[in-house]
Chains A and B, each alone.
Chain A
Amino acid sequence: MNGNIWVVAEQWKGQISEITYEVMALGRELADGLGARLEAVLLGHNARSLAAGLGKADLVLYADHESLAEPNIEALMSALVQLMRERKPRAVLVPLTNVSMGLSTLVAAELELPVVNFCKDAKVVDGAVQATCVLYGGKIEATVATAGDSAILAVWPGARQADQGRSGASPAVEEVALELPAGLCIKLKRYLEPEMGEVDITQQQVLVAVGRGIQSKDNLEMAEELAEALGGAVCGSRPVIDQGWLPLSRQVGKSGMQVKPRLYLALGISGAPEHLEGMRGSDLIVAVNTDPAAPIFNEAHYGVVADALDLMPALAEKVKAAKG
Chain B
Amino acid sequence: MTIIVCIKQVPARESHLRPAGGWVEEADLSYEINEPDAFALEEGLRLKEQHGGETVVLSAGPARVVQTIREALAKGADRAIHLEHENPRAFSPLETARFMADAIAGEKPDLVLTGLQSDDLGYGHTGVILAELLGLPHATIVMQVEVRDGALRVKRELEGGWFQHVEMPLPALLTIQSGIGALRYATLMGIKKARTKEIRRVPLEAGPGDAGFQVERVSLPARSKATRLFDGSPQEAAAQLVEKLKFEARVL
A interface residues (Cβ-Cβ under 8 A, vs B): 73-74, 97-99, 101-102, 105-106, 109-110, 112-118, 130-131, 134-148, 151, 185-195, 205-206, 230-231, 238-239, 241-242, 244, 248-249, 251, 254-258, 262-263, 270, 283-287, 291-293, 295, 297-307, 310-311, 314-315, 317-319, 321-323
Residue contact A303 to B221, C-beta cutoff 8 Å = no
Residue contact A283 to B157, C-beta cutoff 8 Å = no
**In the complex, chain B residues whose CB is within 8 Å of the CB of A135:** 24, 120-122
Question: Contacts A299-B225, A318-B239 given: A257-B213 contact, CB under 8 Å?
Answer: no
Extra pairs beyond A191-B158, A302-B244 (10, CB < 8 Å): A105-B129, A141-B221, A186-B138, A186-B166, A187-B168, A189-B164, A298-B223, A302-B229, A306-B234, A314-B237
**In the complex, chain B residues whose CB is within 8 Å of the CB of A118:** 122
Interface on chain B toward A: helix, strand, loop, or mixed SS? mixed
- CB of A157 to closest CB in B, whole Å: 9
Q: Which of A112, A231, A263 contacts B249 (CB 8 A)?
A: A263
Residue contact B223 to A194, C-beta cutoff 8 Å = no
Residue contact B241 to A186, C-beta cutoff 8 Å = no
Q: Which of B169, B238, B249 contacts A314 (CB 8 A)?
A: B238
Question: Contacts A102-B140, A318-B242 given: A302-B227 contact, CB under 8 Å?
Answer: yes
Residue contact A117 to B137, C-beta cutoff 8 Å = no
Residue contact A190 to B165, C-beta cutoff 8 Å = yes
Residue of B nearest to A157 (CB): B159
- CB of B19 to closest CB in A, whole Å: 7
* Interface bits B215-252 vs A (CB < 8 Å: 1, else 0): 11111111111011110001101110110111011011
B214 part of interface (Cβ distance < 8 Å): yes
Question: Contacts A115-B125, A189-B166 given: A257-B235 contact, CB under 8 Å?
Answer: no
Q: Which of B129, B166, B241, B249 contacts A262 (CB 8 A)?
A: B249
Residue contact A141 to B218, C-beta cutoff 8 Å = yes
- CB of B145 to closest CB in A, whole Å: 14
**In the complex, chain B residues whose CB is within 8 Å of the CB of A112:** 94, 212
Chain B interface extent, by class? 35 or more
**In the complex, chain B residues whose CB is within 8 Å of the CB of A134:** 122, 221
- CB of A247 to closest CB in B, whole Å: 11
B interface residues (Cβ-Cβ under 8 A, vs A): 11, 13-14, 16-17, 19, 24, 93-94, 97, 116, 119-125, 128-129, 132, 137-141, 153, 155-169, 177-179, 182, 211-225, 227-230, 234-235, 237-239, 241-242, 244-246, 248-249, 251-252
Interface on chain A toward B: helix, strand, loop, or mixed SS? mixed
Residue contact A186 to B161, C-beta cutoff 8 Å = no
Measured CA separation A319–B125 after assembly (Å): 47
Measured CA separation A301–B182 after assembly (Å): 35
Measured CA separation A151–B76 after assembly (Å): 42
Measured CA separation A319–B239 after assembly (Å): 9
Residue contact B242 to A319, C-beta cutoff 8 Å = yes
Residue contact B213 to A314, C-beta cutoff 8 Å = no
Q: Which of A97, A256, A315, A319 contacts B161 (CB 8 A)?
A: A256
Residue of A nearest to B218 (CB): A142
Question: Contacts A106-B128, A191-B163, A318-B242 given: A301-B227 contact, CB under 8 Å?
Answer: yes
Residue contact B119 to A137, C-beta cutoff 8 Å = yes
8 contacts between A and B (CB under 8 A): A99-B158, A109-B132, A136-B11, A144-B213, A193-B161, A283-B249, A298-B227, A314-B235
